[in-house]
Amino acid sequence: MTMIQALRSAMDVMLERDPNVVVYGQDVGYFGGVFRCTEGLQAKHGRSRVFDAPISEGGIVGTAVGMAAYGLRPVVEVQFADYFYPASDQIVSEAARLRYRSAGDFTAPLTIRMPCGGGIYGGQTHSQSPEALFTHVCGLRTVMPSNPYDAKGLLIASIENDDPVIFLEPKRLYNGPFDGHHDRPVVPWSQHALGEVPEGHYTVPLDTAAVFRPGRQVTVLTYGTMVFVSEAAAQEAGIDAEIIDLRSLWPLDLPAIVASVKKTGRCVVVHEATRTSGFGAELAALVQEHCFYHLEAPIERVTGWDTPYPHALEWNYFPGPARVAAALRRAMET
Amino acid sequence: MPPTPQPLHLHVPEPTGRPGQATDFSYLHLSPAGAVRRPELDATPASTADLAFTLVRVLDDVGTAVGPWAPPHDAALLRRGLRAMMKTRAFDAKMLLAQRQKKISFYMQCLGEEAIATAHALALSPGDMCFPTYRQQGLLLARDDVPMAELMCQLMSNARDPMLGRQLPVMYSYKRAGFFSISGNLATQFIQAVGWAMASAIKGDSKIASAWIGDGATAESDFHTALTFAHVYRAPVILNVVNNQWAISTFQAIAGGESTTFAARGVGSGIAALRVDGNDFLAVLSASRWAAERARRNLGPTLIEWLTYRAGAHSTSDDPSRYRPADDAQHFPLGDPIARLRQHLTRQGDWSDDEHGQVQQALDAEVAAALKEAERHGGALVDGHVPPIETMFEGVYKDMPAHLREQLRQARQEI
């Protein structure tokens, strides 16, 4: 399956298994989503389970909070992560806090899917990676898969989870893995081992990272598209890097991170999002706190620049394999 | 050549009454009691346009119930309603005092608005869910199954506080009483109510939702999303706008009320709308029943603008004498909801001054006893009681994640 098909399969499985699951958002119903992630779901499960919504992110998330309070398990879509901002109040002030402020009287078991990330000439409002705006919010879970197998298993786990989950989908990975070499043809998921996706129900547990590539010399902490970029960079630099795909950004798998950095003694954090106060800052701080006496070099961060995401300068902005490889070499020099 | 236009100027609405002046209430556009028609339950939203600019009223100046909105005579129910309003006011008065005595940190009265929530509560059915603001305590106090002492425990953040001391006073949550968790963020619950109603429709249930918002908060974007979603999905929801003329210090004209009504927003969004005398218990009961029945029969949402006056301060942190006339409430043309229902019931021979005095005395005693009981469980301001430290970390997620377990360990060590 492609990641698109895997996500669709996850929603199909959950619509089938749990009568309280509902799926809606802009263009999600009849048309099947602008990325085809919900294609066929309305025809199969009916308009009261899968439906189109007005163009109102605040309305989509706000109604979902109300539905969750009733007892449903809404899976809603924000068409691009760049457009979640109008729903900020409902996400931060309501969904994230409902259980806490009502002492469990009401809860918000909802999943908010958002296609995110760049590398597609999406310009300023079709490329952003706003994960740090969610990881900072207590009460939210933030998840990002990097391949079809994880995408389906993590999405099912997110829908079944009783906490509100922000489910970020790197749209650059929808049809195939991408290592940052934009000049080369895209390889489809059908030619990748992680494109093998079971038809039925399975989960990939939240709060667990995956060792994407085992290695001994340096730990790369990353997620989403940057997993493949980091893999290419390690190969091109000839450095035996251990690449950790975090999968769950927050809460995260701290033991996996600490075990790897204590083993390698070096750490490079890679994400597409802008640098300052980005999620990488939290990762660097955690590594520093927990692995200080094992570190042989300063922690490196390879990230997007502190600028809005440009259109023409896409490949100067996107942290490609060359930049990641340079950071790996710097980490090895000291 | 056309004449040179005058320079543009910015229009900033002002209330007619500022401290030391009298408010000119003619902007309210009142209708005489009994004068406004009562449409069929299946009225189209567009056909209610006139109702958005008139005022549904039942009780006239001498306390007679007149016109098509007069509910069937039910003395027992109205007596219960009067008691509910008196109970709400007695509770508010005692809690205001408790705040001044530093037993609680903060309080918000609903003085003058008691009819709206209490009569509305009597029009709903068990299982319906209200999404209140911080000024609908009448929804809870209209019932006798939520003990007053328990509400006071929340206000005191004490050992019996159902919110575990996490919430500011008045931010109650009572799922079992159909009262959704109150948030400090204005208007957010208005769209959530629509979602709850959509869920009831998705499941083929028979429950309806009741959404609440004040005049000032209608300017928030969630007000507009709620109207759009309620209309689009024909959600079984009553959209209540309590127009008490004031948003803290801001007159309702600054919220967009000048030369129009909040009910008109409903019609503009394809939602049946009513504009109702919020200080007329009978009108509130009747209009609420109409809207509830409409929702329950799949006939769609209704927006109701309740016209009333915020007689008290915005909160215990507010001093209204700095922005409006001190005696404004006494001149508000729709009077006081308790006085008006009392007048009506007395006229009907269903109430007397003696009984009024006895009920008042009994309620005052009940409130005092409840406070005494609540005080037995202490409170942050009374005796320094605070909940156990782990309650600060519990409930952020369903299960406590590792980072919070670690922070709890640190907090225990460092504090």
Average pLDDT over residues A62-85: 98
Residue B1 has pLDDT above 80, yes or no: no
Tens-digit pLDDT profile for residues B329-344: 999 999 999 999 999 9
Shortest CA distance to A141 belongs to which of A95, A180, A184, A177? A95
Q: Which of A49, A58, A98 sits opposite B225 (nearest CB)?
A: A58
In single-letter form, the type of residue at position B146 comes to: V
HSE value, Cβ hemisphere, 13 Å, CA-based, for B260: 14
Residue B10 sits at the chain A interface (C-beta within 8 Å):
no
Q: Which residues of A touch B162 (CB under 8 A)?
A: 103, 105
As separate numbers, helices (DSSP H) first and strands (DSSP E) second, chain B gives 14, 7
B180 touches chain A (CB under 8 A): yes
In whole angstroms, what is the distance from residue A201 CA to residue A307 CA? 41
Q: Which residue has the higher pLDDT, B367 or B144?
A: B367
Within a 10 A sphere around the Cβ of B32, how many other Cβ atoms?
A: 13
Distance CA(B198)–CA(B234), nearest Å, equals 8
With beta carbons less than 8 A apart as the criterion, state whether B183 and A101 touch: yes
DSSP A250: E
Beta bridge partners, A221, equal: A244, A269
CB A314 within 8 A of CB A117: no
d(CA A91, CA B222): 13
Give the pLDDT confidence of A91-117 residue by residue, as tens digits.
Answer: 999 999 999 999 999 999 999 999 999
pLDDT of residue A128: 96
Tell me whether residue A21 is exposed, middle or buried, using C-beta atoms within 10 angstroms of its C-beta: 0 to 12, 13 to 18, 19 or more. buried
Please give the average per-residue pLDDT across A151-180, as a whole number: 98
Q: Is A126 a catalytic residue?
A: yes
Which of B191, B200, B222 is the mutation pick for testing A, counting most A CBs within 10 A? B191
pLDDT tens digits along B181-205? 999 999 999 999 999 999 999 999 9
Do A69 and B162 lie within an 8 Å CB cutoff?
no
Q: Given this model, what pLDDT does residue B385 score?
A: 84
Residue B4 is predicted with a pLDDT of 79
Interface of A with B (CB under 8 A): 22, 48-49, 53-54, 56, 58-59, 62-67, 69-72, 74, 86, 89-90, 93-94, 97-107, 138-139, 141, 161-163, 207, 251, 254
pLDDT at A63: 98
- Which pLDDT band holds residue B5 (cuts at 50, 70, 90)? confident
In chain B, which residues have their Cβ closer than 8 Å to the Cβ of A50? none
A200 and A176 in contact (C-beta within 8 Å)? no
**Tens-digit pLDDT profile for residues B219-260:** 999 999 999 999 999 999 999 999 999 999 999 999 999 999
Which residues touch B12 (CB under 8 Å, ≥6 apart)?
B254
Please give the DSSP secondary-structure letter assigned to residue A195: G
Q: Which two tokens stand for residue A245?
A: 């795909």
The answer to whether A138 touches A95, Cβ cutoff 8 Å, is no
Q: Do A106 and B180 touch (CB under 8 A)?
A: yes
Q: According to DSSP H, which parts of A129-237 are helical?
A: 131-135, 148-160, 226-237
Predicted pLDDT of residue B415: 81
Does position A2 have pLDDT exceeding 80, yes or no?
yes
- Residue B2: pLDDT band with limits 50, 70, 90: confident
d(CA B27, CA B333): 11
pLDDT at A186: 87
| Percent of the residues in chain A that have a pLDDT greater than 90, as a whole number | 99
- In angstroms, the separation between the Cα of residue B94 and the nearest Cα of chain A is 25
- DSSP-derived pairing of the beta strands B250-251 and B246-247: antiparallel
Which of B173, B188, B226 is opposite residue A94, by nearest beta carbon? Answer: B188
Q: pTM for the whole thing?
A: 0.97
**CA atoms of B93 and B101, how far apart (whole Å):** 12
Average pLDDT value for chain B: 97
Q: pLDDT-based confidence at B372, cuts 50/70/90?
A: very high
| Helix/strand/coil for B5 | coil
State the Cα torsion A38-A44-A48-A52 to the nearest 10°. 30
**Residue A71: its chain B contacts at CB < 8 A?**
199
Distance CA A220, CA A283 (A): 11
CA-based nearest residue to A266, from A274, A275, A257: A257
What's the confidence (pLDDT) of residue B381?
86
Give Cβ neighbours of residue B33 (< 8 Å, ≥ 6 apart).
Answer: B57, B58, B59, B60, B61, B64, B66, B67, B277, B280
For chain A, say whether B392 makes contact (Cβ under 8 Å).
no
**Per-residue confidence band for B376, with pLDDT thresholds at 50, 70 and 90:** very high
- pLDDT computed for residue B3 by the predictor: 79
C-alpha A131/C-alpha A170 separation (Å) is: 11
Predicted-complex ipTM score = 0.97
On the question of pLDDT at B102 being above 80, the answer is yes
Output the DSSP codes for A39-51: TTHHHHH-TTTEE
Condensed to tens digits (0 to 9), the pLDDT of residues A42-59 reads: 999 999 999 999 999 999
Contact A101 B167 (CB under 8 A): yes
Q: Which of A20, A70, A250 to mutate to test the interface with B (most CBs of B within 10 A)?
A: A70
Rounded Cα gap, residues B137 and B151, in angstroms: 10
Pairwise CA distance, residues B343 & B349, whole Å? 10
Q: Cα–Cα distance between A139 and A126 in angstroms, integer?
A: 26
pLDDT at residue B10 tops 80: yes
For A62, which of B129, B164, B195 is closest by C-beta distance?
Answer: B195
- Looking only at Cα atoms, what is the longest distance across chain B? 82
What's the confidence (pLDDT) of residue B83? 98
Residues 6+ apart with CB under 8 A from B368: B94
Look up residue A150 and give its two tokens.
């994880």
pLDDT in tens, B286-330: 999 999 999 999 999 999 999 999 999 999 999 999 999 999 999
The predicted pLDDT at position A160 comes to: 98
Distance CA A125, CA A78 (A): 13
Q: Could you tell me where the DSSP H helices lie in A216-274?
A: 226-237, 254-264
Closest Cβ opposite residue A59 in set B163, B173, B228: B228
| A101 with B163: Cβ contact below 8 A | yes
Strand-pair partners of B243: B307
Mean pLDDT to the nearest integer, A181-201: 95
The confidence score (pLDDT) of residue B127 equals 97
Report the distance separating Cα B284 and Cα B275, nearest Å.
10
Q: Compare all CA atoms of chain B with the CA of A103 and give the residue at the minimum distance.
A: B163
Residue A226 has pLDDT above 90, yes or no: yes
User: CB burial class (10 A; 0-12, 13-18, 19+) of residue A223?
Assistant: buried
Show the tokens assigned to B195: 């979602």
Which site among B192, B212, B227 would you substitute to test the A interface, given the most A Cβ atoms closer than 10 Å to its Cβ? B192
What pLDDT does residue B384 have? 86
- Among candidates B163, B164, B196 on the partner chain, residue whose Cβ is nearest the Cβ of A69: B196
